[in-house]
Amino acid sequence: MTAPFCSVRGLSVRYGQEAALKSINLDIIGGERLAIIGESGSGKSTLARALAGLLPERTKIEGNITWPALGYAPLPGRDFGFVFQDPSTSLNPVLTIGEQIAEAAQRHLGFGWRQAYARAEELLTRVRLPQPTNAMRAFPHQLSGGQRQRVAITAAIAAKPALLIADEATSALDVVVQAEIVRLLDGLVREEGMTLLFITHDIALASGFVDRVAVFHNGELVEAGPIRSVLSSPADSYTAALIASHRDLSTPPLIAEMAS
Q: For 193-216, how does the pLDDT look when each residue is reduced to its tens digit (9 = 90+)?
A: 999 999 998 888 888 889 999 999
The total of other beta-carbon atoms located within 10 Å of residue 221's CB is 24
pLDDT of 177: 82
- Local structure of 220: helix, strand or coil: strand
Average pLDDT over residues 130-157: 92
Q: Which residues contact 35 (CB under 8 A, 6 or more apart)?
A: 198, 199, 200, 203, 206, 207, 210, 212, 213, 214, 227
**Banded model confidence at residue 246, pLDDT cuts 50, 70, 90:** confident
Topology of domain 33-49+75-259 in CATH is: Rossmann fold (3.40.50)
pLDDT of 250: 45
Question: Model confidence over 60-84: pLDDT tens digits?
Answer: 999 999 999 888 889 888 999 999 8
Which is more confident, 77 or 101?
Answer: 101
pTM of the model: 0.90
Which range is most confident: 161-165, 176-180, 238-242? 161-165
In the β-sheet with 220-226, what is the strand arrangement from edge to edge? 80-83, 163-167, 195-200, 33-37, 212-217, 220-226
Domain boundaries, the chain: 33-49+75-259
